[in-house]
C-alpha cells in the first residue's frame, strides 16, 4: 500500500506541475491586481505605479494598482494571502510586513507572512530622509539634535504607521543620539508629510513622499539613513557621517499567495527583473527620490529578512511597541 501511495503522490505532483506549466503558458489572460498597503502619494505607492506600468507593457495585460491602507500593510497583505493563488492578485510588500509587524501585532496578525506569502522578487532599496518643518530653528542634523534635547515637552514626529521602517528608524535615532520625541502614526507617507508641512508635527523620516517637497523648499532635509549619501539628495550628509554606526534602509518587493504555480512565479520574476533593469526605471526612482533598483537572488532576500527580523525585533522589544 505504501508503494501505491508513493506512486499516487508522484502522479499528483506531476499533474500539478503540468497544470502549472499549462497555466503559465496562457498567463496572464486578464488584468492583474497589485495591492499596495499604503495610500496614494507616498513612496510605496509611487514605486508600485512606476514598475506596474512597465510590467503591464511586458505582460500585455493591465496591472491595476489598488490601495488598501491599514495596520502597517497587514490589510493589503492579508488580502493577497487569502486570494486565489493564480498570479492575478499580487502584493507590493514593504519590509515591515515581515520584519516588524510580526513583533508589533503578535497574535493579532491575520496571516503568517512566512507561510502565506511567497516572494517573487525584491525590487527597490530606499534610504529615507530626516525631514523637518522649515519653521523649526534647525538647519543641520547637529542643530536638530541639540534642539530636541532642549525641547520640553518633546517635539512630535510623524511616521507612516506603528512598526513601519520610518517609525523604527526614528526610534533608533532617539537611542543613538540620546533624544526624546513623541510618536504620531499616520496612514502613509502622504498624510505624514502633510502633517509636517502644516506644522501639526515637527519632523519625520520620509522617502518619495518628501523628497520633491524638500527640493521645492517647502520642507527641510537634514540627513539620510544610508551608509553612502542618497543619490536623490547628495548634498545631504548621512546620519552616520555625523553619528557613526547608524543605518536604516527600506526595501520593497513583490509577493504572491502561497501555492501560486512556480512557472507563474518564475514568469513574473523574470519580467520584473527586466523592468528593473531598464534605465528609465532607475531614472524614475531617482527623480522621485524613491530609491534604487534592488534585485537580489531569493536566498539573499531570505537571509536579509531573517537578519532584519532579529535586528528590529530586538529594537521593538526595547521600546515596547505593541498593538493591543
The CATH number assigned to the domain holding 44 equals 3.40.190.150
Shared domain for 268 and 167, answered yes or no, is no
Is residue 138 in a domain? yes
Is residue 16 in a domain? no
Residues in contact with 224: Cβ distance below 8 Å, sequence separation at least 6, in sequence order: 127, 128, 129, 130, 230, 233, 236, 237, 238, 239
Is residue 233 in a domain? yes
Shared domain for 79 and 148, answered yes or no, is no
Neighbouring C-beta atoms of residue 235, cutoff 10 Å: 7
> If you average pLDDT over every residue of the chain, what do you get?
91
What backbone phi and psi angles, to 5 degrees, belong to 137? -80, 60
Is residue 1 in a domain? no
Is residue 156 in a domain? yes
Shared domain for 117 and 52, answered yes or no, is yes
State the DSSP code for 205.
E
Residue 204 has pLDDT above 80, yes or no: yes
Residue 81 has pLDDT above 90, yes or no: yes
- The domain that contains 168 carries what CATH number? 3.40.190.10
- Residue ranges making up the domain that contains 139: 129-242
The residue among 212, 242, 272 that closes a domain is 242
Res 324: pLDDT: 59
Shared domain for 107 and 188, answered yes or no, is no
Shared domain for 146 and 185, answered yes or no, is yes
Number of H helices, E strands in the chain: 14, 11
| Consecutive H or E run containing 79 | helix 74-81
The residue among 242, 266, 293 that closes a domain is 242
Q: Which of 176-180, 239-243, 272-276, 297-301 has the lowest mean pLDDT?
A: 297-301
Shared domain for 76 and 172, answered yes or no, is no
User: Distances from the Cα of 67 to the Cαs of 34, 40, 49, 94, 289, in angstroms?
Assistant: 8, 7, 11, 14, 20
Are the CB atoms for 316 and 104 separated by under 8 Å? Answer: yes
Shared domain for 66 and 212, answered yes or no, is no
Is residue 20 in a domain? no
Across the range 128-149, mean pLDDT stands at: 98
Per the DSSP assignment, residues forming a β-bridge with 124 are 252, 293
Most confident option among 111-115, 226-230, 286-290 = 111-115
Res 41: pLDDT: 84
* Number of domains forming the structure of the chain: 2
Is residue 315 in a domain? yes
Give CA–CA dist 43/123, Å, rounded.
13
Residue with grid cell 507572512, as numbered in its chain: 113
* Structure confidence by residue, pLDDT tens digits, 93-111: 999 999 999 999 988 999 9
Res 291: pLDDT: 86
Shared domain for 264 and 231, answered yes or no, is no
| Three-state secondary-structure class, residue 17 | helix
Give CA–CA dist 288/17, Å, rounded.
41
Neighbouring C-beta atoms of residue 249, cutoff 10 Å: 18
Shared domain for 298 and 238, answered yes or no, is no
Shared domain for 133 and 237, answered yes or no, is yes
Shared domain for 116 and 258, answered yes or no, is yes
| Three-state secondary-structure class, residue 213 | helix
> Considering only CA atoms, which of 8, 36, 30, 27 is closest in space to residue 261?
27
Is residue 122 in a domain? yes
Res 170: pLDDT: 97
Shared domain for 118 and 153, answered yes or no, is no
* Structure confidence by residue, pLDDT tens digits, 248-288: 988 999 999 999 999 999 999 999 999 999 999 999 888 88
Amino acid at each position: 500500500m505504501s508503494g501505491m501511495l508513493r506512486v499516487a503522490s508522484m502522479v499528483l505532483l506531476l499533474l500539478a506541475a503540468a497544470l502549472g506549466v499549462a497555466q503559465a503558458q496562457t498567463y496572464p489572460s486578464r488584468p492583474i491586481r497589485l495591492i499596495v498597503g499604503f495610500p496614494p502619494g507616498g513612496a510605496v505607492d509611487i514605486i508600485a505605479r512606476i514598475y506596474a506600468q512597465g510590467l503591464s507593457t511586458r505582460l500585455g495585460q493591465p496591472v491595476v494598482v489598488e490601495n488598501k491602507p491599514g495596520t502597517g500593510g497587514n490589510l493589503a497583505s492579508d488580502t493577497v494571502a487569502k486570494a486565489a493563488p493564480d498570479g492575478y492578485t499580487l502584493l507590493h510588500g514593504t519590509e515591515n510586513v515581515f520584519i516588524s509587524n510580526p513583533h508589533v501585532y503578535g497574535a493579532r496578525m491575520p496571516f503568517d507572512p512566512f507561510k502565506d506569502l511567497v516572494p517573487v522578487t525584491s525590487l527597490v532599496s530606499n534610504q529615507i530622509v530626516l525631514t523637518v518643518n522649515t519653521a523649526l530653528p534647525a538647519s543641520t542634523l547637529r542643530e536638530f539634535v541639540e534642539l530636541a534635547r532642549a525641547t520640553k515637552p518633546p517635539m512630535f514626529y510623524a511616521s507612516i504607521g506603528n512598526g513601519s521602517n520610518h517609525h523604527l528608524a526614528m526610534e533608533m535615532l532617539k537611542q543613538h543620539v540620546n533624544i526624546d520625541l513623541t510618536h504620531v502614526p499616520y496612514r502613509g507617507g502622504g498624510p505624514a508629510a502633510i502633517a509636517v508641512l502644516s506644522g501639526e508635527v515637527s519632523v519625520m523620516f520620509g522617502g518619495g513622499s518628501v523628497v520633491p517637497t524638500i527640493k521645492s523648499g517647502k520642507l527641510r532635509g537634514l540627513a539620510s539613513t544610508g551608509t553612502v549619501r542618497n543619490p536623490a539628495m547628495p548634498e545631504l550628509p548621512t546620519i552616520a557621517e555625523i553619528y557613526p554606526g547608524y543605518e536604516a534602509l527600506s526595501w520593497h518587493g513583490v509577493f504572491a499567495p502561497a501555492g501560486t504555480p512556480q512557472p507563474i512565479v518564475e514568469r513574473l520574476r523574470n519580467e520584473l527583473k527586466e523592468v528593473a533593469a531598464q534605465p528609465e526605471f532607475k531614472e524614475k526612482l531617482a527623480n522621485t527620490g524613491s530609491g534604487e533598483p534592488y534585485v537580489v537572488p531569493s536566498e539573499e532576500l531570505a537571509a536579509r529578512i531573517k537578519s532584519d527580523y532579529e535586528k528590529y525585533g530586538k529594537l521593538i522589544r526595547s521600546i515596547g511597541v505593541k498593538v493591543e
